[in-house]
Amino acid sequence: MRTGRGSWVVCSLMAHAPGSADAPLSDVQDCGVLEAFALPDSLAFWTTAVVAVLILGIAKGGLAGGVGLVAVPLMSLAIEPARAAAILLPILMLMDAHAVRQWWGRWDIVNLKTLAAGAVLGTLCGWATFDLLSPDALRFMVGLIAFTFSLRWWLAREITNHREPSYLHGTFWSTLAGFTSFSVHAGGPPLHIYLLGQRIDKTTFQATTVAYFFVINWLKIGPYALLGQIDTSNIAASIALAPLGPVGIWLGARLHHRIDEVIFFRIVYAALLVLGVRLMMAGIA
């Protein structure tokens, strides 16, 4: 019988222990070994997950204007937001390693210094409050972030002021980014509000964003494991989806120099607006 998280290890060892080499597969199944690695069988999950991973890859590869925010809201249509975030984290870390190499040295080191303290503070806040949010509350929060950021983009696309890097503002927005990133990988909006106000060029913006989230995602892995989010079922789903990451990054790198960004972002933010409303309604239903 299955005795709890991690019991599959014990069961597997028992099944292959001396004197039990001929143990039938059914004994291992009863023990929960195969169930522990079971992949979701929902078409809705795989459809939303494939699109989500490709979008994340595109965002990492060259279009960091907030498009990656679509990923968790999209997957939340099929599974709980917390599980969507857990499945995506290992994939994000693999993407980060590739993207950092691609954008190496082109980030703004001054901005990264102003963001460093907030990254740690935000991660700690997300960890401390993780169990306080129900799935519906988390779904509503994801929807609200998506809706608000999309609406802000539609209503105020032109930047009318110019700010310099600041430890005060950087720590504030980075803490908010770290918190929302920890909960649902939605750290982009707060970070972008801070960076876009400085009118930096899109290559520096992309490289700085990539470097920031490389650090943030590595900060999250320990707390995620301690919270029980890194389990065998989620890892199995991550492994199945991981090959799509490089494809998305390759597309993003090509689109960075070729796509009409205005048209692309209009499509993305229109979809994000609809997703936000849908998730908020699901959260309060």
Whether residues 19 and 115 fall in one domain = no
Q: What is the pLDDT of residues 133-183, one digit of tens each?
A: 776 777 687 678 778 877 877 886 555 556 788 889 899 999 988 988 887
**Residues in contact with 43: Cβ distance below 8 Å, sequence separation at least 6, in sequence order:** none
- Mean per-residue pLDDT for 188-213? 80
Residue 235 in domain: yes
Between residues 170 and 279, the one the model is more confident about: 170
Domain count, the chain: 2
Dist CA 79 CA 45 (whole Å): 7
- Mean per-residue pLDDT for 98-113? 88
pLDDT at residue 120, rounded to an integer: 95
Residue 2 in domain: no
Q: What is the pLDDT of residues 40-56, one digit of tens each?
A: 678 888 999 999 999 88
- Mean per-residue pLDDT for 1-29? 45
- Mean per-residue pLDDT for 206-212? 87
Instruction: Dig out the tokens for 71 from the structure.
Output: 């990923």
Termini Cα distance of the chain: 37
Whether residues 30 and 113 fall in one domain = no
Q: What is the pLDDT of residues 55-99, one digit of tens each?
A: 888 877 766 555 677 788 788 888 888 888 889 999 988 888 887
Residue 138 in domain: yes
Whether residues 16 and 131 fall in one domain = no
Residue 228 lies in domain: 43-284
- Mean per-residue pLDDT for 21-34? 50
Dist CA 223 CA 238 (whole Å): 18
pLDDT at residue 172, rounded to an integer: 92
Dist CA 271 CA 146 (whole Å): 10
> Do 151 and 244 form a contact (C-beta atoms < 8 A)?
no
Whether residues 253 and 141 fall in one domain = yes
Burial status of residue 165 (CB atoms within 10 A of its CB: 0-12, 13-18, 19 or more): middle
Residue 142 in domain: yes
Residue 72 in domain: yes
pLDDT at residue 183, rounded to an integer: 79
pLDDT reading at 26 higher than 70: no
pLDDT at residue 250, rounded to an integer: 83
Whether residues 29 and 166 fall in one domain = no
Q: What is the pLDDT of residues 218-246, one digit of tens each?
A: 999 999 989 888 888 889 899 999 999 88
Whether residues 16 and 137 fall in one domain = no
Output the average pLDDT for the chain: 77
Whether residues 98 and 174 fall in one domain = yes
- Mean per-residue pLDDT for 256-266? 69
pLDDT at residue 24, rounded to an integer: 54
Whether residues 205 and 117 fall in one domain = yes
pLDDT at residue 157, rounded to an integer: 58
pLDDT at residue 53, rounded to an integer: 92
pLDDT at residue 122, rounded to an integer: 93
> Do 122 and 183 form a contact (C-beta atoms < 8 A)?
no
Residue 1 in domain: no
> Do 20 and 14 form a contact (C-beta atoms < 8 A)?
yes
pLDDT reading at 2 higher than 80: no
Between residues 256 and 48, the one the model is more confident about: 48
